[in-house]
Chains A and B, each alone.
Chain A
Amino acid sequence: MAIKQKTLYEEIREAGHSRRDFLRFCSMMAAYLGLESSGVAQVVEALENNPRLPVVWFHFQECTCCSESFIRSSHPIVADIILDKISLDYTETLMAAAGNQAEEALHATMEKYHGEYVMLVEGSIPTENEAYCCIGGRSALEIVKEAAEGAKAIIAWGNCASAGCVQAAKPNPTGAKPVHKVLKGKTVINVQGCPPIGEVMAGVIVHILAFGRMPQLDRMGRPKAFYSRRVHDTCYRRPNYDAGLFVESFDDENAKKGYCLYKVGCKGPVTYNACGVIRWNNGTSYPIQSGHPCIGCSEEGFWDNGPFYQHLPSFPGFGIESNADKIGLGLGIATGAGIAAHFLATNVAKRKRIKNEDIVINEK
């Protein structure tokens, strides 16, 4: 049964959006992707001419915050079109079909568009016992491996799929692993964050749609367009950091003045994300702007590098109150005591030598 495939543009128009809306959407996406102005035309052309992109979206060990973030993406076209109408052939949370029907839709897509569909994964994959996460009687691991086979691109949504997030935090009872760790040898695009910013998610999809290839990735597999700078580098509170103006506690005068949140645990200096630029909820704000330190949600292992409200992480094995400085100071005191003891012992044990030796010096 061959159906003529509509282009994304046709679908967008049918959904009642004007051409102006469409162009606005394209320029917004091009801007987020950091393209030159000629890139806008490329995005427009691609969406006008390319057939829709078949997409399958899996949900494993996750909380669905990535989906939530995506459907709140600022531009209505993202929510209406990319998500609802056009591309999504399979997503357990949002699709109308359920049970066998859903599984059939998935298999139909995977067969018909073998090598063409985009695979999106939300959630980590248990490996301790595969049975921790099963859909339709099959384990997450099995499903991922099968779907990855014919995927044109694999996108890991959020920290769970990119780095394991809270499920992989110590002691990681389910043996949760991110997608790239169970798919050896395949390139996975890690769209990091807990959740990732909706516009970033849309931007990555549009990039694949428009250019038919992966965006440039950093060493952690994150798209460079969004993850090449630290939150700290684009933070509007940064001048306060350089001036040494810090919030000491959340209810102090400094907090009111909007000083830097470094001393109450801000992880902006070690976190690569676009929060300071794109911001959240239609560009309204981002955590730091609302007075809360960055918790480093787009970084691997951010749960294990806590507590959130303290600069230095607690020291592994020494309890949550510990940190490198407390332990270092303890060792320093012990070393000082050791030195004092050694000094006293030396004066006793070597007293003869200290008193009696008489040395004549020869110049050569």
Chain B
Amino acid sequence: MDMIKKTRNVVYVWEFPVRLYHWINALSITVLIATGLLIGHPIGIHLAPEASMTYWFGWVRFLHFAFAFLFFFNFIFRMYWGLVGNEYSRWFNYIPIRKKQWAQIWAVIKSDVLLLKYDEESKPIGHNALASFTYFLTFLAFLLQCLTGFGMYAAMSQSWLPKMFAWFPHLLGGDMMTRQIHHITMWFFILFAMVHIYLVFYHDYIERKGTVSSMIGGWKFVDKDDK
């Protein structure tokens, strides 16, 4: 039996603002998906025979919009933190423009998707290049969801913020298509969440670097020579 004996260091990777962003994001997306699904498929619960006696569907929509604002400002905050945060949360990690990033993406595919060989090259301290790239795609999806969501919301609001998005639905040919795209994008979030949660557990399980708890306390356990 070959025992591998390794010494690990504890590194502070995810700063508090990043962790706060992450959990606010998770909460708001969960609420937005739940309320969004209800808006798309209202369940037939008739709490009262007359409309004047209840407002439950109105509250579902209210929740959707309230969490939409939270989601939006949280997202803006993360964009800002990408400019001032530590090296692991900076914006340039997320866009694969350097050769090294592509090499790492390939290494991750071999190591973690195809399960060929365990490759330390594919395990940087922060996000690996493939993960970063998918987060970049989710940022684009956040943006699309905000553009379509606030674009639709503009018609029912007098406030300046949604009004700033009023131009967007017209690019898609109107609210019909906008709503359809908003709905389809929701599925991207659902699929992403499934894979994301699984992979966090997977990495924790295989690498023992504390991937799961790192988003709670911020610390990871890394090999001496990890970068």
Which residues of A are at the interface with B, using a C-beta cutoff of 8 A?
219-220, 229-230, 233, 239-246, 248, 254, 257, 262-263, 267, 269-272, 296, 299-302, 305, 311-313, 324-325, 327-328, 331-332, 335-336, 339, 342-343, 345-346, 349-350, 352-354, 356-364
Contact = CB atoms under 8 A, between A and B. Distances in A.
A50 B202 CA distance: 79
B176 A219 contact: no
Contact of B118 (A254, A324, A353): A353
Interface in B31-61: 40-42, 44-58, 60-61
A320 to B, nearest CB: 15
A296 to B, nearest CB: 6
Contact of B176 (A242, A296, A336): A296
Contacts of A361: 7-8, 10, 221
B27 interface: no
Contact of B155 (A230, A312, A336): A230
B206 A313 contact: no
Interface stretch (B70-78, B121-129, B167-175): B167-175
Contact of B10 (A302, A336, A364): A364
Contacts of B156: 230, 233
A360 B5 CA distance: 7
Interface of B: 1-11, 40-42, 44-58, 60-61, 113, 115, 118, 152, 155-156, 166-167, 170, 173-180, 183-184, 186-187, 190-191, 194-195, 198, 202, 205-206, 208, 221
B174 A300 contact: yes
B155 to A, nearest CB: 6
B179 A359 contact: no
B194 A339 contact: yes
B57 A362 contact: no
Contacts of A241: 57
B42 A246 contact: yes
Contacts of A354: 205-206
A243 B51 contact: yes
B4 A346 contact: no
A321 B32 CA distance: 26
Contact of A332 (B51, B167, B174, B194): B194
A220 B1 CA distance: 72
Given A244-B45, A301-B174, A350-B118, A357 B194 contact: no
A362 B9 contact: yes
A110 to B, nearest CB: 32
Nearest to A345: B115
Nearest to B221: A361
A363 B49 CA distance: 65
Contacts of B56: 243-244
A277 to B, nearest CB: 15
Contacts of B48: 243
A250 to B, nearest CB: 15
A114 B68 CA distance: 53
A133 B9 CA distance: 78
Contacts of A244: 42, 45-47, 54, 56-57, 60
15 contacts: A233-B156, A243-B50, A243-B54, A243-B57, A246-B44, A262-B42, A301-B174, A313-B180, A331-B191, A332-B187, A332-B191, A335-B195, A349-B115, A350-B206, A356-B1
Contacts of B54: 243-244
